[in-house]
Amino acid sequence: MKHPPGEAANGAAELTLISHALCPYVQRAAIALAEKSVPFARIDVDLDNKPDWFRAMSPLGKTPVLQVGDRAIFESAVILEYLEETRPNPLHPGDPLARAEHRSWIEFGSAVLNDIAGLYAAPDAGGFAAKADALGAKFTRLEARLDAAGPYFDGARFSLVDAAFGPVFRYFDVFDGIGDFAALAGKPRVAAWRAALAARPSVGRAVRADYPARLRAFLLARRAHISGLMAGTPA
């Protein structure tokens, strides 16, 4: 495998998304690329055994990294903004204030992902319940903010906020098979949004078909409270 890939045959910079199979931040970039109809290659790396070329490319040692010709950019928020500035089919609102508000809610989505990580890392029932409550509170905030008309965050138009939350709800597709954590209960707008994102082709194709099995294996390997809850649940 040659890195960097250099220039594409047509002279345009070739894009390569350096990925991890479970990384929700990679999914954000993959969704945005698909929504913009931008062709790209995708290479998965093992973050527990990082190859030397990846260490050289990613100063933070994290995914995603977007390789553009012979240069690399990292951090999902930076990648999303680069794509907005350089590729067609904008996913941000045109109005500067609305655009800033959307960026704020994308950051809120990162806070939700942090709580999800805390949920599956919780060593005991008390810590698990606290993180489930924190998630429930965040989804209550989202329920109040969502456009009642839907189907997406701000109405009929798919945006980068939707790209950020597609990976959030994908966790719950697996969590629902483990137990009822109540974080999404009683939130009809959130439920409708989740369903709309699940039906969006760009969201569905942002992961491989074996994603649920991979996530279950990851959760079992945590040996955390959630791993015990998984005992006896179907694979």
Complete DSSP assignment for 47-107:
TTS--HHHHHH-TT--S-EEEETTEEEESHHHHHHHHHHHSSS--S-SSHHHHHHHHHHHH
Give the pLDDT score at 232: 65
Bond from prior residue into 4 cis (ω within 30 degrees of 0): yes
From the list 7, 15, 101, 135, the residue with the least C-alpha distance to 66 is: 15
Give the pLDDT score at 231: 83
* Euclidean distance between CA atoms 180 and 108, whole angstroms: 23
pLDDT band at 4 (very low <50, low <70, confident <90, very high): very low
From the list 162, 178, 184, 165, the residue with the least C-alpha distance to 218 is: 178
List pLDDT tens digits, range 27-36. 999 999 999 9
Which positions ≥6 away from 139 have C-beta within 8 Å? Answer: 112, 183, 184, 187, 190
pLDDT band at 132 (very low <50, low <70, confident <90, very high): very high
- Domains of the chain: residue spans and CATH: 15-86 (3.40.30.10), 96-229 (1.20.1050.10)
What are the φ and ψ backbone dihedral angles of 38, each rounded to 5 degrees? -100, 120
- In angstroms, the Cα distances linking 49 to 52, 178, 186 are 9, 29, 42
Average of pLDDT values for 129-150? 96
Which positions ≥6 away from 84 have C-beta within 8 Å? Answer: 90, 91, 92, 160
Residue 199 has pLDDT above 90, yes or no: yes
The one-letter amino acid code at 218 reads F
Q: Is the dihedral of CA 198, 120, 179, 150 positive or negative?
A: negative
CB atoms within 10 A of CB 41: 13
Determine if the pTM surpasses 0.95: no
Give the pLDDT score at 14: 86
What are the φ and ψ backbone dihedral angles of 13, each rounded to 5 degrees? -65, 125
List pLDDT tens digits, range 205-218. 999 999 999 999 99
Give the pLDDT score at 234: 56
Length, in residues, of the chain: 235
